[in-house]
Chain A
Amino acid sequence: MTHYDDLTYSVYLDAELEPGVAREVRAHLAVCPACREKLRELEKVHLRLAAALGEVALPASLLAAPERTEPVPGLRWVSVLATGLASAGLYLVVSFVSRLFSLEPLEWLNLASMDGFFQFFFEPLRRFIEEDWMKRWIDWAGMGALGLLLASLFYYLRRIRLPARMALVSLALLIMLGAASPAGAVELRRRHGSYTLPANEVVHGDLLIGARDIRIDGTIEGDLISFSRSVTVNGTVKGDLIAFAREIRVNGTVSDDLRGFAQNITIEGNVGKHVTAFCQKLEISDKSQVGSNVYGFAAEVRVNGHLLRDLVLYAEETVLAGQVDGSVRIQGHRLNVASSARIPGKLFYRGYGKPVVDSGAQIGTLDFVQIVRKPRYTQPRFYLKQAIRYVGALLLAALLIWLVPRPLQRVVANVGSLGRGAGLGLLLAVSIPVAAVILMITMVGLPIGLIMGGLYAVLLYAGHIFAGTWLGAKVLSRPEGNLASVGAAAVGLLIYRLSKFIPYVGPLVTLVAAVVGLGAICFEIYSHLRPRAALPSAPAATASM
């Protein structure tokens, strides 16, 4: 005779066994006194549980009318939203005021320009590092904003599961470590006004400097990371030079990489490895040499020196007058290859204007692809592109509706309740790119920064799909079923796509949709990270229920 196990009897007493199994159990109980005894014991436990988990006396205070439940609706969300907005606002005010004191008060308006971007994000950071006591109150305000920002982030942290929290904290620590000291031996120097490392002085390790103007005449054995108005290397940096500045100038030697975010980058000396430049103007002068590839994102590039490897440029105007031993790839508006140019390899140029090649210039092979520029509205390709994008977004929406209907519903619902997640979205929309950029300038953080940037792009893209689906559902007023949801997505995304044709309104719609969608997604993720009844998975049960 086979007996049933305790679990089966427990489920049996709960009347949750499948009818067939329950019948078999009953039949077994009829003939097995041992199991009957076992069941009686279990019944006693049931009785006790039922008695203990019975009704309890209600406190008089609760019996009173439910005025106590008169809510301050979403107080927490309001406070978080307010904190986020206050931080952002404070940051903007601080940036604005600090710019009023700086020399070019109008530059910050042009956020789209490289310099404006640089100014917007890094000027306050530079000011903090630079010891400038006349404007120190700005630093304090900036720190206050940062504190508020952290506080609101912490608010979220506090309410999520421990492992997730640990992961976030360790990530933050990693970021801080990566940002502060990849090699572990960082010297931090802050100077009011200018800083000069004298010619006979050697820094053993890395150097992080914030100052108005920086001049390195001596030797740095590690990396030099600088935030300044200008940085000039006359001596030697044996590691990398990572610089945020208006003016970066290398007259001496940088043995490893040069990574510059600046208005002007001028290389008169030697760079041992790669050069990565985000700038207005990049100049590699005729006495200089770069040991490895040069990547440039700039308005104006002049290459007179000797590049031992490849040259890759996105530049409006390029003048090649030096020697490039590897291949050259350029996309831009104008290219001039001067007579002194020596490019034995391949030169690929994709641009609006034909390249001008002076006689005497030596080029291995020249590939030129012309970009034809017409107003985009007159090109059929533009409409085709829009249609493809629309269909792509719609397909993705349909796929999501098919694969994960319930999470999708929740995210779309989050879009509807605007407050929910919009603050979070705004916070993340601003903080993710900043964090990613900061990560990318450090060696340790580069891959994480890249992943973060990629994820950000994906989330922003997904954001518009959710926002569009919400809009469509609003228009169709509560569609039922998956097919109707796809229909809603089709309508909403079409409205979204068409709104992009309207000048001024289009970009605004794009921005709002992305931020609100991002917030809705992140809120959903966040609500999953929040503690729920996290019960461990049970071992394989033998009972059939």
Chain B
Amino acid sequence: MAKAEEQAMLSPAERDEAIQKAQRGDASAFAALYRGYVRRIFGVCYHMLGSPADAEDATSEVFVKVRAGLAGYSLAQPFEGWLYRVAVNHCVDWLRRRKGERMVFSDTDPAEAVAKDESPGALAEMVTEEETTAVRRILQEMPARLRIPLVMRFYNEMSYDEIARTLDMNRRTVGVMIFRGKRELARRLRAQALQRRQAAT
């Protein structure tokens, strides 16, 4: 599968060409864009929404929006930034809509469902799978306003400036939000560790 992905990645020139063609309504060019970015967008949606099923639906919807909005996109702005903005805004809308109908129960643990598919890498050697699952669960329990900047920073690897632009707030606030997110995560991880130790004794 890794090979197929390699093929799906687009060089900047290919990407711009595909965008221009897609803007003129070329379906195969849009398909190339889709293949090039579906993984990233799904990742954004997954980390934002915390459920693979929701993320799957949201990803499709994001691409519907992208297709409709592509005409309004100009090559002058970075495509990834624009794309992430569409995805992030869509997920924020989604979370807000869902806020009213808070999940009462869920049959599968969303964090676990996807974590298993993770391919082991250098990071995985230092951070155990268990820990990763725990962190994902904590992230999902965190308020969206703290989670979203973290996802944009650590998953999308966006700079503070890009995040600030996307979320329509200033750079300083982005820094503070990310800091608070990290602090909250550290606090909860410590609390969990303490609980486990107490349970053991």
A interface residues with partner B (beta carbon < 8 Å):
6-7, 10-11, 14, 16, 41-42, 45-59, 61-63, 65-66, 68-71, 73-74, 413, 530-539, 541, 543, 545
Beta-carbon contact of A53 and B145 below 8 Å: no
Beta-carbon contact of B167 and A66 below 8 Å: no
Instruction: Collect the chain B residues with CB atoms within 8 Å of residue A58's CB.
Output: 38-39, 42
Instruction: Collect the chain A residues with CB atoms within 8 Å of residue B30's CB.
Output: 66, 69
Beta-carbon contact of A49 and B60 below 8 Å: no
Instruction: Collect the chain B residues with CB atoms within 8 Å of residue A50's CB.
Output: 123, 154
B169 within 8 A of A: yes
29 contacts between A and B (CB under 8 A): A7-B175, A7-B179, A10-B175, A42-B182, A45-B185, A45-B186, A46-B182, A47-B126, A48-B135, A50-B123, A51-B123, A55-B39, A55-B43, A57-B117, A58-B38, A62-B59, A65-B34, A68-B60, A69-B60, A73-B68, A74-B68, A531-B93, A532-B92, A533-B167, A535-B169, A536-B145, A538-B173, A538-B176, A541-B173
Given contacts A16-B159, A45-B182, A532-B167, 6 further A-B contacts (CB under 8 A): A7-B179, A10-B178, A51-B124, A53-B151, A531-B96, A538-B176
Beta-carbon contact of A49 and B182 below 8 Å: yes
Beta-carbon contact of A543 and B175 below 8 Å: yes
- Among A46, A58, A62, A70, find the residue whose CB has the most chain B CB atoms closer than 10 A: A58
Instruction: Collect the chain B residues with CB atoms within 8 Å of residue A71's CB.
Output: 64, 67-68
Beta-carbon contact of B183 and A6 below 8 Å: yes
How close is A180's CB to chain B, nearest CB, in angstroms?
30
B40-74 residues with Cβ-Cβ distance < 8 A to A are: 42-43, 46-47, 52, 56, 59-60, 63-64, 66-68, 72
Interface digits, B171-198 against A, CB 8 Å rule (1 contact, 0 not)? 1110111111011011001000000000
B82 within 8 A of A: no
A406 to B155, CA, bound (A): 29
Instruction: Collect the chain A residues with CB atoms within 8 Å of residue B185's CB.
Output: 45, 48-49
Interface size on B, residues (CB 8 A): 66
Choose from B47, B68, B148 the contact partner of A533 (Cβ within 8 Å): B148
Instruction: Collect the chain A residues with CB atoms within 8 Å of residue B31's CB.
Output: 65-66
Interface digits, B118-154 against A, CB 8 Å rule (1 contact, 0 not)? 1001011011000110011001000001001111011
A55-B39, A58-B42 known; A69+B175 contact, CB < 8 A: no
Beta-carbon contact of A41 and B186 below 8 Å: yes
Instruction: Collect the chain A residues with CB atoms within 8 Å of residue B66's CB.
Output: 69
Instruction: Collect the chain B residues with CB atoms within 8 Å of residue A62's CB.
Output: 38, 42, 56, 59-60
B interface residues with partner A (beta carbon < 8 Å):
30-31, 34-35, 38-39, 42-43, 46-47, 52, 56, 59-60, 63-64, 66-68, 72, 88-89, 92-93, 96, 114, 117-118, 121, 123-124, 126-127, 131-132, 135-136, 139, 145, 148-151, 153-155, 159-160, 166-169, 171-173, 175-180, 182-183, 185-186, 189
Beta-carbon contact of B175 and A48 below 8 Å: no
A533 to B84, CA, bound (A): 13
State the main secondary structure of chain A at its contact with B.
loop
Instruction: Collect the chain B residues with CB atoms within 8 Å of residue A541's CB.
Output: 172-173, 175-176
Beta-carbon contact of B150 and A53 below 8 Å: yes
Leading 5 A-B pairs by shortest Cβ distance: A57-B117, A66-B34, A52-B135, A538-B176, A69-B63
Beta-carbon contact of A533 and B92 below 8 Å: yes
How close is B21's CB to chain A, nearest CB, in angstroms?
14
How close is B170's CB to chain A, nearest CB, in angstroms?
9
- Which residue on A lies nearest to B117, using beta carbons? A57
Beta-carbon contact of B38 and A63 below 8 Å: yes
State the main secondary structure of chain B at its contact with A.
helix
A58 to B1, CA, bound (A): 10
Instruction: Collect the chain B residues with CB atoms within 8 Å of residue A56's CB.
Output: 42-43, 46-47, 52, 114, 117-118
Instruction: Collect the chain A residues with CB atoms within 8 Å of residue B114's CB.
Output: 56-57
A61 to B57, CA, bound (A): 10
A47-B123, A48-B127, A56-B118 known; A545+B186 contact, CB < 8 A: no
A39 to B39, CA, bound (A): 33
A65 to B33, CA, bound (A): 11
Instruction: Collect the chain B residues with CB atoms within 8 Å of residue A537's CB.
Output: 169, 173
Instruction: Collect the chain A residues with CB atoms within 8 Å of residue B126's CB.
Output: 47, 51
- Which residue on B lies nearest to A46, using beta carbons? B182
Choose from B47, B92, B169 the contact partner of A53 (Cβ within 8 Å): B47
Choose from B56, B89, B167, B171 the contact partner of A59 (Cβ within 8 Å): B56
Beta-carbon contact of B167 and A535 below 8 Å: yes
- Which residue on B lies nearest to A542, using beta carbons? B176
A530 to B39, CA, bound (A): 28
A14 to B178, CA, bound (A): 9
Beta-carbon contact of A10 and B179 below 8 Å: yes
Instruction: Collect the chain B residues with CB atoms within 8 Å of residue A63's CB.
Output: 38
- Which residue on B lies nearest to A57, using beta carbons? B117
A294 to B47, CA, bound (A): 68
A248 to B145, CA, bound (A): 61
- Which residue on B lies nearest to A72, using beta carbons? B64
- Which residue on A lies nearest to B172, using beta carbons? A541
A73 to B67, CA, bound (A): 9
- Which residue on B lies nearest to A528, using beta carbons? B168
Instruction: Collect the chain B residues with CB atoms within 8 Å of residue A55's CB.
Output: 39, 43, 118
A103 to B55, CA, bound (A): 62
A532 to B145, CA, bound (A): 11
- Which residue on A lies nearest to B125, using beta carbons? A51
Beta-carbon contact of A47 and B127 below 8 Å: yes
- Which residue on A lies nearest to B114, using beta carbons? A56
Choose from A11, A52, A543 the contact partner of B132 (Cβ within 8 Å): A52
A535-B173, A538-B173 known; A49+B179 contact, CB < 8 A: no
A534 to B155, CA, bound (A): 20
- Which residue on B lies nearest to A49, using beta carbons? B154
Instruction: Collect the chain B residues with CB atoms within 8 Å of residue A49's CB.
Output: 135, 150, 154, 182, 185
